Chains A and B, each alone.
Chain A
Amino acid sequence: MAERGFQISRLPGFATIALAAFVILYLPIVTLVIYSFNGSNSVATWGGFSLRWYGDAWANQDVKAATMRSLVIGVSAAVLSTTLATLAALGTTRRRAFRGQTFIYVMINQPLMVPEIVTAVALLIFFGILKVATGYQGLGYLIAAHTAFCIPFAYLPIRARLESMDLSLETAAADLYASPVMTFRRVTLPLLAPGIMAGAMLAFVISLDDVVITEFVKSGGQDTLPTYMLGQLRRAFTPEVNAISTMLLGVTVVMLTAFFLLTRKKD
């Protein structure tokens, strides 16, 4: 053990900057959470602990509708993108490298590389044409857009799980005359389940958080929670938005904790 005076990996000032970075990262978020419980009408004064802004948000029909919309889009996009990503992961792992495999990787990860604003503009134009051509204005466009950009997020944990899975159990099932379908349903799928769950949760969080693409694709009256919040920011200060943010934050933290528990390596 090195002397306290000279630690080999210590670099002067680094710990101070790092701790300052953590404070800077959390101070604004913590402030926002605290002020969502502020009973006063201004940030400058503390009006005592109160749930009034949560009450206001809850009573607001627009917020309720936006919450429902966010949930419908988020759940649909998570289910769809996870299904598609699972199939693609099964197609691109555990087999001999084949022609076009790199192309598939690039295509699947493409939403991670293209700036969101560019995709948003592209979908504004394309779905605009479809809206005029078909007359359909519903949530389907938002669900399709969200499904597409959620695919890489769902794909990554599923692929990681598949790659670390032991092939011998499936071989054993096949040796015991299980049909390929039976092997998949009874052996592969249960083993893959944590990866699929993790992928679905990431996809849901990503969908729930999206602002830019939703803002460009939505038709009139199709605000989700984030676009509703963005619209409110244009107006005067509304502590109601703090309350909504805190609730969204809570959902994210719960989902992430579950994600980490699911993907944690067994010791």
Chain B
Amino acid sequence: MSPAEQTAIRSSARNGWLLSLPALAMLALAASGPLLIVVYYSFLTANDTGGVIREFSVEGWKGILVTYDIFDERYTLAEANLTIFWRSVWLSLATTALTFAIGFPTAWFIATRPPARRAMWLFLITIPFWTNLLIRTFAINEVIRNEGILNTALLWLGVIGAPLQIVYTEGAVLIGMTYVYLPLMVLPLYATIERFDVRLLEASYDLYASRWSTLRRVILPIVKPGIIAGSILVFVPSLGAYVTPRILGGGKKMMIGNFIELQFLQGKNWPLGAALSVLLLLIVTAALLVYVRVANRDRGADHG
């Protein structure tokens, strides 16, 4: 490589950095940078009137699992917290499973339409995807709440004698999250199914495979990257969900996101809230790393 070429490459890299710098500065100021302050705050002492006292403490982190009993002067397991974590995890897993159960057939259906009509079906999935999450949560609330259209219709038909209590239960949060995150599962699944070679199905049927074993042995392994992408895209926001459990859980069926808010806005335990935020961030990062590893391995397998 000639010196002139090397200079050209160096200046190209420098220009690349210079042009990206304003965006990076903005992100450091109002997105990534402040995350470091959260880590710092998780190791400070709580101020009972809100905010923190600048003294090192690990009480915030301990507070995730245990509560200090001032009368017994000892720590007891914080069962209320564990209930919230367990609920967040199982609701997020169940949301992922449900969106897959509904989303896979939907994505398959769209991908197997004639190309001209595919764009229309895809657009129909995209509109809810971009529609305000609050509005969609509000819309599903209108359907399932006690005076909502579902209960009104069932009462009118005489199927039930009294309104079903759906809202403010874990079931309501599950229904709501499945509803709002379904497009996040359908879109990546569609992207992989669309590239699926239909001749593989012919081969499978020619070899006397049943539809079920074709689905299990041929289709699912090939669309696995889409399944993983969709699952991550649904699981991650479910775990950090705030709006949907707040509206449909009604303060009783809290998830981690609401529990974090509680520490900052009412509970006045900022270090605990900060520790919970860092924990959530770590779990999400771990999930994303697993995704990257699996995606890379699959890509490697394709070439190998």
A residues engaging B (CB < 8 A)?
8-15, 17-22, 24-29, 31-32, 35, 42-44, 80-81, 83-85, 87-88, 90-92, 95-96, 98-101, 104, 107-108, 110-111, 113-119, 121-126, 129, 144-145, 147-149, 151, 155, 205, 208-209, 211-212, 216, 226, 229-230, 233, 237, 241-242, 245, 248-249, 252-253, 256, 260
**B274 part of interface (Cβ distance < 8 Å):** yes
Complex: how many Å from CA A9 to CA B246? 41
Complex: how many Å from CA A151 to CA B179? 27
Complex: how many Å from CA A237 to CA B247? 12
Inter-subunit contact B242/A116 (CB<8 Å): yes
Inter-subunit contact A148/B281 (CB<8 Å): no
Inter-subunit contact B38/A260 (CB<8 Å): no
Inter-subunit contact A124/B135 (CB<8 Å): no
Inter-subunit contact A9/B201 (CB<8 Å): yes
- Please give, as numbers and ranges, the residues of chain A lying within 8 Å of B33 by CB-CB distance: 126
- Please give, as numbers and ranges, the residues of chain B lying within 8 Å of A29 by CB-CB distance: 128, 131, 135-136, 139
Partner of B34, one of A87, A123, A260: A123
Nearest B residue to A245 via CB reads B135
Interface of B is mostly: helix
Nearest B residue to A116 via CB reads B240
Complex: how many Å from CA A245 to CA B277? 30
- Please give, as numbers and ranges, the residues of chain A lying within 8 Å of B261 by CB-CB distance: 117, 216
Contact with A along B250-287 (1 / 0, CB 8 A): 00000011001100100000100110010011001100
Kindly specify which of B19-27, B61-69, B296-304 makes contact with the partner chain. B19-27
- Please give, as numbers and ranges, the residues of chain B lying within 8 Å of A15 by CB-CB distance: 105, 109
Nearest CB of B to A217, in Å: 9
Nearest CB of B to A161, in Å: 16
- Please give, as numbers and ranges, the residues of chain A lying within 8 Å of B26 by CB-CB distance: 80-81, 84, 144, 147-148, 151
Known pairs A122-B35, A230-B243; A117 contacts B132 (CB<8 A): no
Known pairs A28-B179, A116-B242, A118-B240; A10 contacts B112 (CB<8 A): yes
**B126 part of interface (Cβ distance < 8 Å):** yes
Nearest B residue to A205 via CB reads B130
Nearest A residue to B40 via CB reads A125
Inter-subunit contact A110/B32 (CB<8 Å): yes
Kindly specify which of B78-86, B145-153, B221-229 makes contact with the partner chain. B145-153
- Please give, as numbers and ranges, the residues of chain A lying within 8 Å of B28 by CB-CB distance: 107
Inter-subunit contact B105/A11 (CB<8 Å): yes
| 30 A-B contacts (beta carbon < 8 Å) | A9-B201, A15-B109, A18-B108, A21-B105, A24-B179, A25-B128, A31-B143, A44-B152, A95-B12, A95-B16, A98-B17, A107-B24, A108-B20, A115-B240, A116-B242, A117-B256, A117-B257, A118-B277, A121-B277, A122-B35, A147-B26, A151-B26, A209-B133, A211-B243, A226-B132, A230-B134, A252-B131, A252-B132, A253-B127, A256-B130
